[in-house]
Structure 1
Amino acid sequence: MLSTDEAAAVLLSLKVATAATIASLPPAVAIGWLLARRRFPGRLVLDALVHLPLVLPPVVTGFVLLRVFGLRGAIGGWLHDTLGITFAFRWTGAALACAVMGFPLMVRAIRLSIESVDRRLENAAATLGASPWRVFRDVTLPLAWPGIVAGAVLGFAKAVGEFGATITFVSSIPGETQTLSSAIYGLLQVPGAEARVWALCSVSVAISLVAMLAAEGLAQRQRREAVT
């Protein structure tokens, strides 16, 4: 059985991951479509910037977020003074960090899904007078939706397990920013807490496994639909 604090960490992780996924999905779809369907100067640079969090140490990403969105940061200070929005050391900051770390996975899955859509169908709709937005809404989006959902699931799974960027940006405050991963790390410093660590690890594995199985199932469905 999980303690009250441990259960709170699990629920907070799910809350943070859900918020991160919902917030990052629309821009991930937009950038995925842009990279899949458009050729423009700076495309390779944009592609590299999108995937940069995958190769940077998470601590570096968290530090950059702290400097930019912290109370003394250029954006964070303005948001706090003007709109009363605070990211540093708040659960919303954890959601922001998770969104940044999961964004490349979402974009990659969505981009590959859109690239698999037959462009002849899009061209046919455009020839019949459909606007670019309507082509995207009525043709591209329905055909690419399994990949879009799979990308969202991957981003969610990444957010649930995120640690380095989150703890650097928002620390590990019980009840506020202590997620599942930071709770496990904290228990590792406590002598005799191995059973509690195993319990939280089991929860983490279960959540990630369900998410990965869902993503793989959607990917297989998309491949079957592409064949038929």
Structure 2
Amino acid sequence: MAISAAAPPRWVLLPALLGTLLILLPVAAMLTRPNWAELPSLLTSEAALAALGLSVWTALAATLLCLLLGVPLALLLANARFRGLTVVRSVVLLPLVLPPVVGGLALLYTFGRQGLLGGTFELLGVQVAYSSLAVVLAQTFVAMPFLVVSVETAVRGLDRDVLDAAAVDGAGRTGILRHITMPLILPGLISGAVLAFARSLGEFGATLAFAGSVQGVTRTVPLEIYLQRETDPDAAIALSLLLIVVAVVVISLAYGRGARVAER
């Protein structure tokens, strides 16, 4: 088998293996802990099902919100040219490096009862903080940058000559976006949406700070794991394994297609 000239030297194999083990061993250690016979009952308990149901629908809602807001934002960031664009992009991507609990506090001081916009929402009869809506907003806050990065990268990779040719032929901006840009960036869009869903499903810090932990209302799977780790470690491990399985599936969906395309 021919070896590509771009292949790394053999000495990188050792640190690569150590890096793999650093991730794999903790997961493998967790697999040795549960009582597999009790796993179904642990995952179908009332608390587990309530947390799982809440996590799924809030993550789906957050992903939809990421699509509605993040795709236009990514399109603007990929095409805009103005002084200060780097600062704007840094602010948009801030949740990628910001501790989630800090993001939760920022949301609380914005939408909480005593927050910047909290009073306005209270007058409208809407309580945002410590509600299921707060869970969705917290998940959207931390997940949207993943979609923005994915879509912006896909847009920047487009062949500008194709877009310019369509404009010369008389196509309007909306027509170009609908019939050319969106179909071409669809793989990146799907990957970004899947990653946003996964990040929403695993969100903990911002949710706890902004939404609290009320069973059936704001207590998602990560919060349930946190609470169960002391009182019922087996239940916490069972839910953790469930999230690991979901994460593996999500990563496979997000990157599997790209890997197949690269191999062709």
* Structure 2 counterpart of 1:161: 202
For structure 2, which runs of at least 5 residues remain unmatched after alignment? 1-40
Q: Of 19, 28, 43, which residue of structure 1 is paired with 2:61?
A: 19
Contact residue 69 and residue 88 of structure 1 kept, 8 A:
yes
Alpha-carbon distance change, 133 to 221 in structure 1, aligned in 2, over 3 angstroms: farther
Query: Residue in 1 aligned with 2:46?
Result: 4
Q: Return the alpha-carbon distance in structure 2 between the equivalents of residues 146 and 211 of structure 1.
A: 14
Shift of 1:32: 1.0
* Cα deviation code 1:35-59 (max 9, x no counterpart): 1122123211110011111111111
Percent identity reads 36
Pick the structure with greater CA Rg: 2
Taking a change above 3 Å as real, the CA distance of residues 67 and 222 of structure 1, as seen in their structure-2 partners, is: farther
Which residue, 188, 194, 200 being the options, matches 2:233? 194
Residue 213 of structure 2 is aligned to residue 175 of structure 1: no
Match of 1:122 among 163, 170, 185: 163
* Aligned twin of 2:114: 72
CA shift, 1:218, in A, is 3.5
Q: What is the number of equivalent residue pairs in this alignment?
A: 222
Distance in 1 (alpha carbons) for counterparts of 2:167 and 2:261: 24
CA RMSD of aligned residues (A): 1.4
How far is the alpha carbon of 1:145 from its aligned partner?
A: 0.7
Paired letter, 2:75: W
Distance 1:85 1:126 in 2: 45
Q: Which of structure 1's runs of 4+ aligned residues deviate more than 4 A?
A: 221-224
**Distance in 2 separating the partners of 1:158 and 1:48:** 19
**One-letter code of the match for 2:237?**
W
TM-score by length of structure 2 reads 0.81
Distance (Å, rounded) in 2 between the aligned partners of 1:154 and 1:77: 34
What is the match of residue 99 of structure 2?
Answer: 57
Distance 1:80 1:219 in 2: 46
Cα 1:221/1:122, change in 2 over 3 Å: farther
* TM-score, normalised relative to structure 1: 0.93
Aligned-pair CA distance for 1:80: 2.4
Once the two structures are TM-superposed, the CA of residue 221 in structure 1 deviates from its matched residue by: 5.5
2:123 & 2:258 partners in 1: Cα distance? 45
Equivalent residue for 1:89, pick from 106, 116, 130:
130
Unaligned stretches of 5+ residues in structure 1? none
How far 1:124 moved relative to its partner? Answer: 0.7
Cα distance in 1 between the residues matched to 2:102 and 2:79: 31
